[in-house]
Amino acid sequence: MSLLTSLARLRALDEGIAQPVATVRHCHLAERPMVFIPLKLSGEAAAPLAAMLGTDRGDPRLLVVPQPRNRDLRFAWAAELAGVLLPYVEGFLGDTETVERRNADPYERTVDAPQIIVPNQGGMAFVRLLGRSTRFRRTDGPYPVPESVPLLGRWLTYFAERAAYPGSSLMLAATDELGRHWASGQSSLEDANLAALLSWITTGPSDDAEDPLVWPPAGPATDPGFDAEVLAPAIEGGSPERVAEALRTQLEPTWRLMWQAIDLLAGLPEGASVAQRWEQDRGSFSGMAAHVAEGTPPQARRDGAVAAAAKLARMERAQAAYDVQRAYDDPLVMAEYRLTGEAFAGEVIETVPDNVEGEGRSRKLRPLVVIKTDDPVRLAPGTSLGTPQRRTQGAELVSADDGLVTVKITKGMGRGRTAAPGAVPEVGERVCYTSLTDDFQGSPSLPESEATPWTHGGPPQEYTPDDEDAQEEWS
Amino acid sequence: MTDSPEQVIRNVLADLPRHRGVVVDSPPGAGKSTLVVRAAAHIAATGEPLMIVAQTNEQVDDLVARICDKHPHLTVGRLSAGGYVPPLRMLELPGVRVGTRIQDLGDPDIVIATADKWAWIGERVWPWAIVDEAYQMRSDKLLRIAGLFERALFVGDPGQLDPFSIVDGDRWSGLSWDPLQSAVSVLLRHNPGLPVHRLPVSWRLPASAAPVVSQAFYPFTGFRSGTGPGDRWLELTAGGMGTVHDRALEEAARSGWALLELPNRHTVRTDGEAVQAVALLAQRLLQRGAVAGSEQGERPVTADRIAVGAAHRDQVAAIRAAGLPPEITVDTANRLQGREYDVTIVLHPLSGRRDATAFHLESGRLCVLASRHRHACVVVARAGIAELLDAHPSAEPVQLGVPVKFPDGWEANQAVLEHLSRHRV
């Protein structure tokens, strides 16, 4: 936890209400998000019990497995779930735009993409397990399932995988996103309770959040008291309606909380880089849709050596970009870097807009800016700098002492003999410079999977679906 | 009785043609670079081209200088990235060519570059490779370059810092090709039959340090120091003023270790008092005209022979800002790996902390910081680390399929702390 977040948490505790740790929203919010609250059977890894989902807050769909130990009923539930989720996902495929690429063929990208919002990390993990347990099902042979079930599994797996990329918004966990924008006065473990976190943000901490009779757990696990006293008798009674009504009481309160969380996030203005990250999400989604359309086999059970390395490289790239973009978008995030000396903000007190370096043909315009700052500057002369005020600009630290920092602008001030208007900050302007830059080299290529070298076990065996897949336990 | 270092090196060279890969574990200062240079000359003598992989530009430059020094008849090509500026000493070396492309180098006996640079090279296969600091190399880097060579010698220190990532890689833990594991672990898991040799003697660490470091960080393999108890000494020629800092330096000169303990307090990472203490120790060490004597003769401990180590970059920045002579190296454990100094001053990773996270408990971090010195190591820490450790037993989740790793960071920290407590000032 950083110093600033710790301070915000202390202040939240002191004032009895959560404190903002962001001034803008750092995730994309879809116009029509799919809110998905799954419940599983206690004691099982991923045996589905029920789900409440939908894109309309006034009209949630409730899907229930009346007897969660019955395999056929679970598959019927998965097929029902596919009946809601797949049309939602496929609804985005029709409207596309052509994207030109350097060194590659243009491709079609959907103009919008689906967004699934689950309550918490547990919900994300459940989506991943549900995808894992349905994507290898067969529509023929022993234990056949409806065609939509393995397709649902592939999409759920995709959403869960994509959620591991920092900054992606295709699937969000409500508690995670709230926690990125507000600091409560409770521990991060307690923050995983949606009801508790929301009450910290809206009205202040309340004991009701811990009471399963007022706010049942947001899933995927259910309250043990409810399991023993209500659910078990209802299932044993054999009446599907009674089970459904019992589960509705557990899901409806969370349904309301989910939409409250969405409203809170929607109340924040969107960060400047959010659209760019959503564009990448749309590209990724279109790629997945193309895979599905081509009929490629489902995602492998485990990443092979090459796939793992490739994924790690992409995730690291996404993490680095996300960190930098958030700081550039949000002065409150940048403040963290100002505290650690990786950024500084202050007032411009002097400029030399026509400063030049070199002679003759190598003569280059290098405007100088002197900034007065109270921040501790821990950057060495020569460090490359960027600035949120002029994102295309590059600069270099010349010297920093006694609160006076001299910066040399090296990029993005125009090609002329004098700097373009507005490129050099005016005296009196408040500016911020940082050594964080969103300037990454691409990563070198990996071998083809079939050419995995001997150091990594050689080429992997290819996956061929067989009847044993159907024998696999489904829980 | 273990083999002599010379015998181990001969065994390694003899194993090279017999196996696809050979691994050599080397404790701190055990002559790893000497081995790399010898193996390079040995392979070059067969007339077959050789590629050498190191992890950082400094390591590459170091190796180039050593190879040219020992074997001036060998031609060396140094591949580098576009922005790299070769140090002057490199350009003056005969037989060395620097270039950004293989074609620029002519056809040298040895081509050497960082793993990151090698990953961009393709379309050629070398019969031999030497991978230096292979325990600090992530296995995904090895994956990118393994197609470039047929056989390889992997050399590294298993006790130092494991490679890391800014993202959570738990999803791959347990897989034999986990990209976050070190190159050597992945190599050995897929090729369990490869021979693993160990260099048995540390030439760097003095007799006062080798047993401590060996027991704490290499509990099963162990090593001994190449010099005896009286062979190294450190003398402060100017008199002291009796301050705690002076007494800490005197203790370090006498015994090879000192712990300057500050009052117990929870602090921010850039603990002002601790930073001041570290800076003052370094200044006093210079002012008191320390002279180090060893098998290499007698020489004054100048600023470039002193290093200051810390766990975090902001601590390093704070210490630098405290006004040290620029010749003194101040850096994080990660960047001090593979370096050697006469005296080191260390800000203990757990000093002033409220919690002991996996990052701070990682045994490699402390191992690097406690094993860079030829003569003495002074540790600055707030009191209460032992209690902090007791309150934070290692509670990392156990993952299926992951080999148990020794030493345990928690235990290693306790062992070092116990030893330091005998040298407390």
Give the whole-angstrom CA distance, residue B404 versus residue B413: 18
Q: Which residues of B touch A446 (CB under 8 A)?
A: 143-144
Q: For domain A331-434, which architecture applies?
A: Beta Barrel (2.40)
Question: Do B66 and B160 reside in the same domain of the chain?
Answer: yes
Q: Kindly give the pairing relationship between strand A182-183 and strand B290-294.
A: unpaired
Asked whether the predicted pLDDT for residue A194 surpasses 60, the reply is yes
Residues 121-150 of B with CB under 8 A from A: 122, 139-140, 142-144, 146-147
* pLDDT class of A30 with cuts at 50, 70, 90: very high
* pLDDT class of A54 with cuts at 50, 70, 90: very high
* pLDDT class of A21 with cuts at 50, 70, 90: very high
Q: Which of B199, B219, B240 is the last residue of a domain?
A: B199
Asked whether the predicted pLDDT for residue B38 surpasses 70, the reply is yes
B143 with A455: Cβ contact below 8 A: yes
Asked which of A107-121, A335-349, A429-443, B268-282 is least confident by mean pLDDT, the reply is: A429-443
B357 touches chain A (CB under 8 A): no
A378 with B120: Cβ contact below 8 A: no
Give the whole-angstrom CA distance, residue B49 versus residue A75: 61
Asked whether the predicted pLDDT for residue B1 surpasses 60, the reply is no
- Out of A308, A341, A444, whose CB is closest to B144? A444
The 10s digit of each residue's pLDDT in A280-328 is 999 999 999 999 999 888 888 888 899 999 999 999 999 999 999 999 9
CATH number of B244's domain: 3.40.50
| φ/ψ bin of B306: left (φ > 0), alpha (ψ from -120 to 50), beta (otherwise) | beta
Q: For chain B, what is the domain count?
A: 2
B83 touches chain A (CB under 8 A): no
- The domain segmentation of chain A, as residue ranges, is 3-303, 331-434
A455 with B142: Cβ contact below 8 A: yes
Q: Which residues of B touch A341 (CB under 8 A)?
A: 314, 317
A316 with B179: Cβ contact below 8 A: no
Model pLDDT, residue A211: 86
B268 touches chain A (CB under 8 A): yes
CB A42 within 8 A of CB A68: no
CB A114 within 8 A of CB A285: yes
Model pLDDT, residue B191: 92
The pTM assigned to this predicted structure is 0.88
Question: Do B161 and B114 reside in the same domain of the chain?
Answer: yes
Higher per-residue confidence, A372 vs B84: A372
A300 touches chain B (CB under 8 A): no
A291 touches chain B (CB under 8 A): no
In one-letter notation, the amino acid at residue A334 is M
Give the closest residue to B285 by CA, choosing from B336, B323, B248, B312: B248
Question: Do B130 and B270 reside in the same domain of the chain?
Answer: no
Give the whole-angstrom CA distance, residue A324 versus residue A336: 12
3-state secondary structure of B273: helix
Rounded to two decimals, the ipTM of the complex is 0.86
Q: What average pLDDT score do residues B284-299 get? A: 90
Question: Do B319 and B283 reside in the same domain of the chain?
Answer: yes
CB A234 within 8 A of CB A243: yes
B144 with A454: Cβ contact below 8 A: no
Q: How many CB pairs under 8 A join A and B?
A: 89
3-state secondary structure of B21: strand
Question: Do B312 and B343 reside in the same domain of the chain?
Answer: yes
Give the whole-angstrom CA distance, residue B197 versus residue A121: 45
Task: Report angle CA B190, B193, B197 to the nearest 5 degrees.
Answer: 110
B119 with A340: Cβ contact below 8 A: no
- Out of A313, A315, A453, whose CB is closest to B146? A453
Within a domain: residue B204? no
| φ/ψ bin of A173: left (φ > 0), alpha (ψ from -120 to 50), beta (otherwise) | beta
Higher per-residue confidence, B94 vs A202: A202
CA distance B320 to chain A (A): 9
Tell me the percentage of chain A whose pLDDT exceeds 90.
63
Q: Which residues of B touch A435 (CB under 8 A)?
A: none
Q: What average pLDDT score do residues B338-349 get? A: 92
* pLDDT class of B204 with cuts at 50, 70, 90: very high
Question: Do B187 and B213 reside in the same domain of the chain?
Answer: no
User: E strand or H helix at B363, and its extent?
Assistant: helix B363-369
User: E strand or H helix at A34, and its extent?
Assistant: strand A34-40
Question: Do B404 and B332 reside in the same domain of the chain?
Answer: yes
- Out of B169, B187, B314, whose CB is closest to A455? B187
Model pLDDT, residue A297: 86
Residue of B nearest to A442 (CA): B120
Question: Do B341 and B232 reside in the same domain of the chain?
Answer: yes
Asked whether the predicted pLDDT for residue A463 surpasses 80, the reply is no
What is the DSSP track for B368-390?
HHTTSEEEEEEEEEES-HHHHHH
Question: Do B271 and B370 reside in the same domain of the chain?
Answer: yes
On the CB side of B417, CA atoms within 13 Å amount to 23
Asked whether the predicted pLDDT for residue A475 surpasses 60, the reply is no
Model pLDDT, residue A138: 86
Best mutation target, B53, B121, B177, B319, to test chain A (most A CBs within 10 A): B177
* pLDDT class of A470 with cuts at 50, 70, 90: low
Residue of A nearest to B183 (CA): A455
Q: What average pLDDT score do residues B328-352 get? A: 91
Question: Do B215 and B190 reside in the same domain of the chain?
Answer: no
The 10s digit of each residue's pLDDT in A143-177 is 888 889 999 999 999 999 999 999 999 999 999 99
Asked whether the predicted pLDDT for residue A368 surpasses 80, the reply is yes
Q: Kindly give the pairing relationship between strand B257-262 and strand B290-294.
A: unpaired
* pLDDT class of A473 with cuts at 50, 70, 90: low
Domain limits for position B56: 5-199
Highest mean pLDDT among A465-469, B320-324, B380-384: B380-384
A455 with B317: Cβ contact below 8 A: no
Model pLDDT, residue A420: 81
Within a domain: residue B78? yes
A445 with B144: Cβ contact below 8 A: yes
B190 with A164: Cβ contact below 8 A: no
Q: What average pLDDT score do residues B46-57 get? A: 91
CATH number of B11's domain: 3.40.50.300
Question: Do B126 and B242 reside in the same domain of the chain?
Answer: no
The crossing angle, in degrees rounded to 10, of helices A148-163 and A121-134 is 140
A303 with B318: Cβ contact below 8 A: no
The 10s digit of each residue's pLDDT in B140-166 is 999 999 999 999 999 999 888 888 888
The 10s digit of each residue's pLDDT in B54-96 is 998 888 988 998 999 889 899 999 998 887 887 877 777 888 8
Tell me how crowded residue A123 is: count the other CB atoms within 10 A of its CB: 27
Within a domain: residue B145? yes
Give the closest residue to B171 by CA, choosing from B399, B404, B405: B399
Q: Which residues of B touch A457 (CB under 8 A)?
A: 176-177, 190
Give the whole-angstrom CA distance, residue B40 versus residue A30: 59
